[in-house]
Structure 1
Amino acid sequence: MNKNDFDTIPDREAIGSQPRVIDFFPTDNDSPQTLSSEQIAKWNANGYLGPLEAYTADAIASIRSHFDSLLAETLAAGRDSYSISSAHLKHTLAWDILTNERIVAYVSDLLGENVIGWGSHFFCKMPGDGKRVDWHQDCSYWPLTPSKAVTAWLAIDDADAENGCMEVFTGSHKHGLIDFAVSDSSTGNVLNQTVDHPERYGTASLTPLRAGQISLHSDLLLHGSSPNRSDRRRCGLTLRYCPADVHAYLGWNQKGVVVRGTALPSKWPGAKRPSH
């Protein structure tokens, strides 16, 4: 499978036809190495954790500079600022962030000693672009079973209410797969799903982050974000992880990188670091 095959939104019928176990699996970790026991308990209760420190101001400034060049190349090629997906398969910048030991250490405390990093997508809201991310659960887009995936959301720029930071409904991860309606880009939604009346499933919360911080959320957590109506860009890089015992359909195991511990090559053969 070509790395560019992962650039489009997955076909929901193909994913929906795969046999999957969709449920929240609480973390049972009596001796976390990086997170505290209180943070583990909060994760289990809320399906969300943050903010957590990942990069210093100087380090994230360097990452931002590299992303600025990547974004300029992307726009010059006629693509938009949301199109840089499966980035770790094509860009060393994203690969090195996906495999960053500090981020992996947080995730490993939630997922165990054998961890796969398999996804990376820049969600870059340009100043005043007017686009939003409607309420959704990540697991509805991913052909993985069981549903144990965790997303680390890295703030490349400062993210706040003015420029469209992520919003979550804590506790919604305990409701299994929630019914959604299909939407399209003509409505201003970056994705193609929306969940009505999300307040029925949890408690609304904004999740502002400073550049260099991350948050963590369950693949079953309802989340989204409002349009960026400010004069500042809001770029975040989503990093996707799962335990090595998770099964990936539709060739998605080809995207996986062993970032902690080991994995059976038959399940996760191991993508290679890109050359540029």
Structure 2
Amino acid sequence: MLTREQIVSYFENGYLLVEDVVTPEQLQRMQDITHELIDRSRHVTESNDVYELDEGHNSETPKLTRIKLPHKQHPFFWDVLKNSGITEVLRQLVGANAVLQTSKLNAKAPGGGAAVEWHQDWAFYPHTNDDMLAFGVFLEDVREENGPLQVIPGSHKGPILNHNSGEGVFCGAVDPHDPEFQIEKAVTITGKAGSMSIHHARTLHGSAPNVSDRARLMLFYECCAADAWPLMGGSAYIQRLSQQEQWDDLLDRMIIGAPVLQPRMKEIPVRLPYPPAADVSSIFKVQKTGGAKSAFA
């Protein structure tokens, strides 16, 4: 799926755009399911285990920031991850054994859909090694005006920036005035429906509010090599499960290959996301209740 040049570019820059990663039929099916899920949210009045509502959400004009764990809301999202061009890209970048960390479908609403402040995914869930990445499948065309993903090339090779607020609380965002935050190097990733962005777990990234008249629908899969095991301290649900439940859950999340029971340790920078924000149910809540400063104000 990926050329040698694309693989080299990903490891050098920490991000990549891949076109036509799914077939037209797969794309259409995902679009249909997504719109069905959005339509079902019309009578939801507060965020729950499926939907995170945006400000102004109502039955006539549903506005969502996110559909949570889409691979659990409809089996087709899991099938695409295991049986498409996405699968082959994963195999090329992290190896023969890979597991799903989490999934989310960001439905950034039109007319001001919430920004995602600049951050590194690694700050939320450090592991024993950093063979971790996020795929962002474009379910519709992504343009400059509807809040596309922005990344800072090469930042995955640098430090883990401070993601705590001035009050010392983990807010899941870097301070825009941090001298190590080089926003002038930011690259904006746009593309047509069916394309996919890839960014390394340590790559600094964010996205501005959606000021267009249509939603920005992006399906995110966060994945890692099976020999990357989570460190204590993250807010992932798996750390609240019993040993047997963790094992069963791991088997359910295997995408390719098999579990690896010998964690690979790598000497890399780590910060733990403590003390936690008042609400850790999503990055939007962490950034809001943790007191993050906006780079998009």
Pairwise TM-score range, normalised by the shorter structure: 0.7 to 0.9
Within-5 A mapping of 1:189-228: 192-197=172-177, 199-200=181-182, 203-228=185-210
Total equivalences in the alignment: 227
| Mapped partners of 2:211, 2:36: distance in 1 | 23
- Give the match's secondary structure for 2:5: helix
The one-letter code sitting in structure 2 at the alignment partner of 1:230 is S
Match of residue 241, structure 1, among 213, 216, 223: 223
The one-letter code sitting in structure 2 at the alignment partner of 1:236 is M
Describe the superposition over 1:133-186 as per-residue Cα deviations: whole angstroms up to 9, x where unpaired: 110101111253322211110011111111111111111111131112449xxx
Unaligned runs of 5+ in 1: 1-33, 184-190, 268-276
Match of residue 154, structure 2, among 153, 158, 171: 171
Partner of 2:256: 260
Describe the superposition over 1:168-222 as per-residue Cα deviations: whole angstroms up to 9, x where unpaired: 1111111131112449xxxxxxx84234256537821110021111011100001
Partner of 1:160: 143
More strand by share: 1
Partner of 2:80: 97
Q: Answer whether contact 1:98 1:120 (CA < 8 A) is retained.
A: no
- Is structure 2 residue 71 aligned with structure 1 residue 88? yes
| Mapped partners of 2:120, 2:129: distance in 1 | 15
| Mapped partners of 1:123, 1:101: distance in 2 | 21
Q: Answer whether contact 2:140 2:217 (CA < 8 A) is retained.
A: yes
| Mapped partners of 1:201, 1:213: distance in 2 | 25
Q: Answer whether contact 1:172 1:202 (CA < 8 A) is retained.
A: no
Partner of 2:109: 126
Shift of the 73–150 alpha-carbon distance from structure 1 to 2, 3 Å rule, reads same
Shift of the 75–246 alpha-carbon distance from structure 1 to 2, 3 Å rule, reads farther
The one-letter code sitting in structure 2 at the alignment partner of 1:225 is S
Percentage identity across aligned positions?
28
Describe the superposition over 1:225-254 as per-residue Cα deviations: whole angstroms up to 9, x where unpaired: 111111111110110111110113562653
Match of residue 61, structure 1, among 23, 28, 46: 28
Match of residue 137, structure 1, among 114, 120, 125: 120
| Mapped partners of 1:131, 1:125: distance in 2 | 6
- Give the match's secondary structure for 2:30: helix
| Mapped partners of 2:228, 2:157: distance in 1 | 19
- Is structure 2 residue 214 aligned with structure 1 residue 232? yes
Unaligned runs of 5+ in 2: 48-52, 54-63, 240-245, 264-297
CA RMSD of aligned residues (A): 2.5
How high is the TM-score relative to the length of structure 2? 0.69
